[in-house]
A and B are shown apart, each in its own frame.
Chain A
Amino acid sequence: MDDGENFRGIVASDDKLKARWEAVSDKIMSDASRLLGVELSRVDVVAMPSARIATLTDAALSESYLDEIKQLEAALEQVRKNEMREALESGEEEAHAELNRLSPTERMSKARELGLTGAAPATEPSSIADEAVLLKRLLTLPPTERLSKGRAWGLIK
């Protein structure tokens, strides 16, 4: 049994741990996407020592968790792609040269992979995700505090 599975087993056996695990992993995933532009799944987060410690001990999340995200395999690839896209968008010659070495079909698929489709980036899904994250956070508050927070976060027009 690898220790990822071991950890999952422990968390699954206890409702309190499960709730804490969800809160911790939600925070890490939303921070990763907000601060680093990296989309992580829960499976990725399991590999992070600080996430496990925060889940199992109720200690605050260690401050090194952002560094840990950058070490993750899933993140490395995305960070590299983000850098490449930024370089292309800001018109850096090197990046364009790299793209130009590829055959036209490869070039197109590479550009798609980098999210350079020419069309406006799909804002809808990400706004749904934002709304979902904010709503979930809102529902953890006592009912009397939800309305004012909901207005402040733009969830209630």
Chain B
Amino acid sequence: MLTVCQSDMVNALGRSQNTITTRVRGLEYSHGQNGARLYRLADVLPTIKPKERQHVPALFELADDDGEELWVGDNAVPRARRLEGWLKGGQVERLFGARVAFTNALAASVQSSVLFEHLEALRLKLILTDPVLKWTVLGDGDALPPFEQWAVPYAITNARYENLNEKEAA
């Protein structure tokens, strides 16, 4: 999982500490070393304004990676929807391509319908994994996972009943 702290955002985006603090208010965080608040990069991206988009690759470079690239965490559907709403043009297309590749790989790997009960949520949440996030946002082809081996572990890790109708909390 990729995470950034507030000073990463200050450095990458060139905004003041106060601006950043205001923006990340309400986002979930964990505590890193020396107490810094670590935010998931996937949650931070939707707070980035159009003029700052050029700095997004710098933010990816500053991000810490804990090596977890399957589990997308709790409360994932609204977080995924928020991020998806932030995507533009080619990013939307790349995400669509990743979803198709994932669905095909899953269909080729399992015979029963158990995981497919969760397909809609799994497709939605795909953007929250680091490999798909890097591919979608940066167009980094090297980041793409080998879906034929990756689809089942991802689906098993993240399959759960999600409320897909819930409106995002304001």
Binding site for B on A (CB under 8 A): 124, 127-129, 131-132, 135-136, 138-139, 143-144, 146-147, 150, 155-157
Contact = CB atoms under 8 A, between A and B. Distances in A.
Q: Which 5 A-B pairs have the closest CB atoms?
A: A132-B112, A135-B114, A128-B111, A131-B112, A146-B156
Interface string B8-36: 00000000000000000000000000000
Given A135-B110, A135-B112, A139-B160, A157 B71 contact: no
B112 A143 contact: no
Given A143-B71, A147-B70, A132 B156 contact: no
Interface string B64-95: 00000011000000000000000000000000
Contacts of A127: 111
B149 interface: yes
Contacts of A136: 114
A139 B158 CA distance: 9
B115 A135 contact: yes
A150 B159 CA distance: 13
A139 B114 contact: yes
B152 interface: yes
A27 to B, nearest CB: 16
B112 A150 contact: no
A138 B159 CA distance: 10
A151 B157 CA distance: 12
Contact of A139 (B71, B152, B153, B159): B159
